[in-house]
Amino acid sequence: MNTSKVNIKIFSDNEDISTINSALRQVELESVPIAFTNPKAFAAEDDTIIILQIDSLASGLLNEVFPIKKEIKNKIIVVVRNNNALLVSTIAKMGLKDIFVFPYEILKFTNYIKEIVSDGLFKTSDDENGNSKLDKFNLTNIIGSSERFSRTIELSKKVSEQTTSNILILGETGTGKGLFARAIHNHGKNRKQPFVDIVCTAIPESLLESELFGYEAGAFTNARTRKLGLFEIADEGTLFLDEIGDMSLNLQSKLLRAIEKKVIKRLGGVTDIPINARIISATNKNIEQMVAEGSFRRALYHRLNVVTIELPPLRDRGEDIITLADFFISEFNKNFNKSVKKIGRELKFFFLGYPWPGNVRELKNVIERAVLLSDNGDLRLNDFSNLRHSVPAVTFNVEPDKQLPDNIIRLDLNFGTTDLKKLTKFYAKQVLDRVGGNKSQASKLLGISRPKLDSLISKKEIKSPDFKHFYVKFVYKKN
């Protein structure tokens, strides 16, 4: 495993950086040591996390940062120790996107540090394809070429380029809704403005309202100073509301007012504050059903749903599964100093047949585990035994006109004349045909021995009877 230290440099006009130091000590990353220093003179360096603590517009650090190239600005983190809206807005307009207001966003700050260290997003060195890892937040570099996924990419590009209308992203857990939201922002007209995100389920309702709208000093107990809301911090950029389907009806009504009136009121405030951020929201729930049931406000749904982008589940993306798997293998080879080879033919059939209920996130996790534990340059079926044991041997599809993926075998059976013995023989022959006559691969996929397979196919060829619409998903099945 790669155990090289992650360098963090903190630059501040004020000598008191104790709060940042304390927050960094809370970052617990296994096998990734962190070394943070506080140099006097500002210097932008590659492969280093740069943290700026800025207290006022008079900060000399702003003059230092302004002329540096965009690639360096993209990885700078700014900490502001007061709720000066003008200061935050000015910093954002300079191209510094990651801004945290202390002490209110310390937890968010530490979680962000964990994320960029784990994913290597602070690095500016190019990967083997010549692309910075920051490019993963770009629509042109999102991996996938299947027909349905390509249409999703094209729609996202069109929407981001031509409008700043609100967008609703739908998709199962793990399909990459957060990735798409940030990529749409980076591809759009407001790319130089802040991208601010919040997971609606991660914060209790009582705190979520203050996070979104902010509050005035004295609005409630312990509200000693004014706090800016995320709407204000987003300014003319993008506010990403993840898991919007879990927001309470009470808060939905307040969000609806903000969107309709283009203004917000801080908690305890009396003044309307104009807002102009694009809202990208996302959910893995059936939002239309929630509207019909009354658990989600219809008016808010229509305000958020100017454009809908639906991300297909991984199981419907065909060869994209293999492309993504190979990409993750390459990524984790670097992280763990391994030389694991790309997905072979045997694994390819298994990966195409597995349903991937956790989608891309699940695929990435299992590849990480397999590469980490691999003792040689090849990944085999046994490296994914935790997946194989959960795969259903047979699934059914009653849509006769639906175009079937390559990993589906259709069997038209006359149940009046076809017993299990005939079905077994016919299915074995179909699998053998799909793997190009390779008996070793077919026997592994079927979960039987090579002699058993020879025995099954040695009889005279079994013809497919005429019962309609019986489908078998072509996957590994356990003995």
Distance CA 309, CA 119 (A): 25
Q: Tell whether domain 408-473 is in CATH 1.10.10.
A: yes
Q: What is the C-alpha separation between 43 and 37, in angstroms, rounded?
A: 12
**Chain centre to alpha carbon of residue 99:** 21
- pLDDT tens, position by position, 305-364: 999 999 999 999 989 999 999 999 998 998 888 889 888 887 888 888 888 999 999 999
Pick among 2.30.38.10, 2.60.40.10, 3.10.580.10, 1.10.8.60: CATH of 315-388: 1.10.8.60
- If one compares 197 and 137, the residue with the highest pLDDT of the two is 197
User: Which burial class, exposed, middle or buried, applies to 77 when counting CB atoms under 10 A from its CB (0-12, 13-18, 19+)?
Assistant: buried
pLDDT for position 316 = 92
pLDDT at 413: 66
Residue with token string 């007061």: 82
Phi, psi (degrees; rounded to nearest 5) at 272: -75, 130
Query: What pLDDT score was predicted for residue 108?
Result: 82
Per residue in 16-44, pLDDT (tens digit) is 888 888 788 777 555 556 777 887 777 77
Q: Which residues of 205-235 are buried (b: 16+ CB within 10 A; e: fewer)?
A: eeebbbbbbbbbeebeeeeeebbbbbbbbbb
DSSP assignment string, 402-464: SPPPTTEEE----TTT--HHHHHHHHHHHHHHHTTT-HHHHHHHHTS-HHHHHHHHSSPPPPP
User: Residue 477 pairs with which residues in a beta bridge?
Assistant: none
What's the whole-number mean pLDDT along residues 238-258? 94
**pLDDT tens figures, 409-429:** 777 665 655 678 778 888 888
CATH number, domain 138-310, options 3.50.30.50, 3.40.630.30, 1.10.3720.10, 3.40.50.300: 3.40.50.300
Residues of the chain with CATH 1.10.8.60: 315-388
Q: What is the per-residue pLDDT for 131?
A: 43
Q: Residue 299, SS3?
A: helix
- CATH 1.10.10 domain locations along the chain: 408-473
Backbone angles phi, psi at 275, to 5 degrees: -130, 150
Q: What is the mean pLDDT of the chain?
A: 81
DSSP state of 214: E
What is the mean predicted confidence (pLDDT) over 76-81?
Answer: 86
Alpha-carbon span 248 to 129, nearest angstrom:
45
Residue 126, pLDDT score = 44
In the chain, where does the domain assigned CATH 3.40.50.300 lie?
6-128, 138-310
Count of alpha carbons within 13 angstroms of residue 282, beta-carbon side: 26
The correct CATH number of 6-128 out of 3.90.1150.10, 3.10.129.10, 3.40.50.300, 3.40.50.720 is 3.40.50.300
